[in-house]
Every structure is written in C-alpha cells, then in structure tokens.
Amino acid sequence: MTLEAPVDGGLIAGLRSFAGDHGGAKAVIEYVGRRGCRIVLVGEDGAWGDQFAPATDVAREACARAGVVVENEWERELMDNMRPSNDLWRSMARRALAR
C-alpha cells in the first residue's frame, strides 16, 4: 500500500494558468529540501515562473493533471527559450550592487 500526498487544486490551476497565458509550458522540478520542491515553468513565449509543491511526486502529478510536460533536467533548448523580463534584470542588478 502506498500513500499518495494530495495534489492541491490551486497548484494545478496555477500551472494551467501559466501554460495558458504563455502558449504552453514545460517544467523542471527541483528538490529544495524539507520545504519540498520548486516547479520552474518555462513558457513557449520565453516567460518563466515557478510554483512550490510539498514533494516531487506531488509536483509531477500536478504537472500531469495540468498538461505541463516535465523535463528531466535543464536541457540547452529549454534554457535558450527562457527570456528574463526587464524587471528580473533590474532585481538581479540590485542584488549584485548590494554586495
């Protein structure tokens, strides 16, 4: 008998919303320790965002239910598709200047 963690409907809705807003999406799931895992989404238009899930199996199930393809790792094609927004560039610059 295996116990499955419940998949939050809000997580699925967030994944679907992102994919819908950006012409589809692919995801990479990154384990971040006790907190769970981060689902990094890359839209077909180059936009990216993230969601958090309590465990990797929950993240994979949520992506499957939302129709988001999960990549096993950061492939070059996926990274080449990412287009950071101007706001992200500004926030990264502030962090670099604050050091």
> Which is more confidently placed, 39 or 2?
39
Q: What would the pLDDT profile of 73-85 be if each residue is shown by its tens digit?
A: 656 665 666 665 5
Query: Quick one: pLDDT at residue 99?
Result: 47
Q: What would the pLDDT profile of 11-70 be if each residue is shown by its tens digit?
A: 999 999 999 999 999 899 989 988 899 998 888 888 888 899 999 999 999 999 999 999
| Strand extents, DSSP E, the chain | 25-31, 37-43, 48-53, 69-71
Q: Tell me the domain boundaries of the chain.
A: 9-98
